[in-house]
Amino acid sequence: MTKDTAPPAQAAKFNGMLALLLAMAMFVLVVDTSIMNVSISAVVRDLDSTVSSVQSAIALEALVSAAFILIGGKVGDLIGRKRAYVIGLVAYAIGAIAMTLAQSILAIIVFWAVIGGLGASLLLPSMQSLIHGNFEGSAQARVYALVGASAAIAAAVGPLLGGVITTFLSWRIAFLLEAVIIAVVLSGIRLVRDVPYTGSRKVDVVGSLLSVVGMGGIVLGILAWQEGAGYVGLLIAVGIAGLFGLVFWLLRRKRRHQAALLDPDLFTLPRFRFGISQQMLQQIALGGTMIVLPLYLQMVFEYNALEAGLSIAPLSLTMFAVALVAGRRLTKRRPAGLVRWGFLLLAVGLISLVFVIPRADSGWWLLVPLIICGGGLGLLVSQLNNYTLSPISNERVSEAAGVNSAAGSFGLSFGLAVAGAVLLAALAPLFTNLANSSEVLPAAEKQQVAQALDEDAQLLSNTQLTKQLADQPQKIQDEIVRINTEARPIALQIALIAPILAALIGFILSFRMVRLPDPEQSDAPPGETIV
């Protein structure tokens, strides 16, 4: 046994410093894209580039990390989970340093989008594998809860943090701080004990290519949909075909007893299927909520990025606090029961928002619903990773972690794209109906006004819209602003349907989860999986 490999007795000890470093690594992984999103205008100005170029780099990073995430789990098996973890961190640090020093968009594309994206595809599965191998029982549940809470709060406060640093310092400082955090994480790498892999080391080339086509096609289609580009259906169809081809290929390799990218028997385990399904639904709800609320706050209340972030802070802070408390204090409660309560609270909070939004005149109105949502999300992030992966043997944990990470990444991307698209799509018929029913607008101009609002005013506040209408009669200005004011809350209510449905479906599935026995820590010999 090597010095980096944990014997069973050592693995049972709780290492608080290692847990904190793993949570820091996850925080950087998630907050990175948020900082990039809020820094677009500053990056464009400093590098003399274009918005489309920077957005393309962001899309490429998401595509690379999603396309190679299943392969990343297998690479961790072949080169060592600890080594894959270190390489992933170093690749992410290279991307952050490149952003700090970049003088052209090419450097961002090569080092941040491509190398950083590949680093993410290695880092996510290897991190979950190392948690699985370095902690056991209640300690493992605590670490999964801490890392999940770290990811959730990074997604929630990332725009606020990035906005503050970009506004008062520089976007380069934000990425430099990322590199510093990664250096701190790497300084504690001796605390990490590797999780040995003794299975087949043959490479499934065809399965790897099919996974890239499948995951890459679907994520690229979602990104194209989000940006309003063409060929969305074709891209998603190619992705679905790739995933169906991957399933057929894996089953074929299994029947022939040949090495495969993934063991298809993983999907025969009910807890694993429920775990990844609930992970995806939770991320759909989180992604949908975190795209529509900031837009609502900035467009309707005319909040800046800092004010919008502070208004959403109750959700992220409650989520973080509840996840920590649940991971530490509720270890004797049934995980499936906590998941059920999590989805119930999330659904109640989101439905409350639907009723509060038409009456709200400031972000304070959202306080109670956001606290309820945060409590539900906190319960979910504290339980789902441990529920999904704890029964899996060390031999198969990288494959399982890769699928689990892919489900979460897909859910987040899908939630962002669907809720954002529904929000904007709902405005068009609302503008048309309100314009046609207006008694102030001339009949000949109603359709023109509706079309202009749909094309030019979707992301404008009332103040910005008033400036564009400066040459119109005051009566017409007031009427168009009224239409704009009435349409936006309704559109937000419609956009919240996607995360609400995800929460309700998760709640319904949780009743089937409760019927299953609770997961037990895997102590199976290599190659077996505990059910």
Region of poorest pLDDT, from 29-38, 416-425, 470-479: 470-479
Instruction: Give which of 104, 25, 108, 120 is closest to 63, Cα–Cα.
Output: 120
Amino acid at 428: A
Report the alpha-carbon distance of residue 355 to residue 358 in Å, rounded: 7
SS3 string, 187-224, reads HCHHHCCECCCCCCCCCCHHHHHHHHHHHHHHHHHHHH
What digits encode the pLDDT tens for the residues 300-344? 777 766 677 778 878 878 887 887 787 677 667 788 888 899 999
DSSP symbol at 290: H
pLDDT in tens, 154-205: 776 777 777 778 777 887 888 888 889 999 989 888 888 877 766 666 777 7
- Asked if residue 385 lies in contact with residue 401, where contact means CB atoms within 8 angstroms, the answer is no
- CA dist 508 → 106, 501, 502, 516, 521 (Å): 47, 11, 10, 14, 26
Q: Please, where are the H alpha helices in 358-445?
A: 367-389, 397-436
The structure tokens listed for 42 are 């500053």
Confidence of residue 8 (pLDDT cuts 50, 70, 90): very low
Q: Assess whether pLDDT exceeds 50 at residue 33.
A: yes
301: CB partners within 8 A, 6+ apart? 307, 361, 362, 363
Report the alpha-carbon distance of residue 516 to residue 520 in Å, rounded: 12
Q: What is the pLDDT of residue 130?
A: 82
Can you give 454-518 as a three-state secondary structure string?
HHHCCCCCHHHHHHHCCCCCHHHHHHHHHHHHHHHHHHHHHHCHHHHHHHHHHHHHHHHHHHCCC
pLDDT band at 528 (very low <50, low <70, confident <90, very high): very low
CA dihedral in degrees (306, 307, 310, 311; nearest 10)?
Answer: -150
- Which pairs with CB-CB distance under 8 Å and at least 24 residues apart come from 475-482? 475/440, 476/440, 476/441, 478/440, 479/438, 479/440, 479/441, 480/441, 480/449, 480/453
pLDDT at residue 229 is higher than 70 = no
Cα–Cα distances in angstroms (integers) from residue 46 to residues 40, 95, 126, 166, 383, in the given order: 10, 18, 36, 12, 43
In this prediction, residue 227 has a pLDDT band, given cuts at 50, 70 and 90, of low
On the question of pLDDT at 293 being above 70, the answer is: yes
Number of Cβ atoms within 10 Å of the Cβ of 440:
13
**Percent with pLDDT over 90 in the chain:** 7
In terms of pLDDT, which residue wins out, 70 or 451? Answer: 70
Predicted pLDDT at 529: 37
Global pTM value: 0.77
Q: Which two tokens stand for residue 422?
A: 């529904």
**Phi, psi torsion values for 194, nearest 5 degrees:** -70, 155
- The answer to whether residue 487 scores a pLDDT higher than 80 is no
Per DSSP, the chain holds a count of helices (H) and strands (E) of 21, 0
Query: From CA 396, how far away is CA 389, in angstroms rounded?
Result: 10
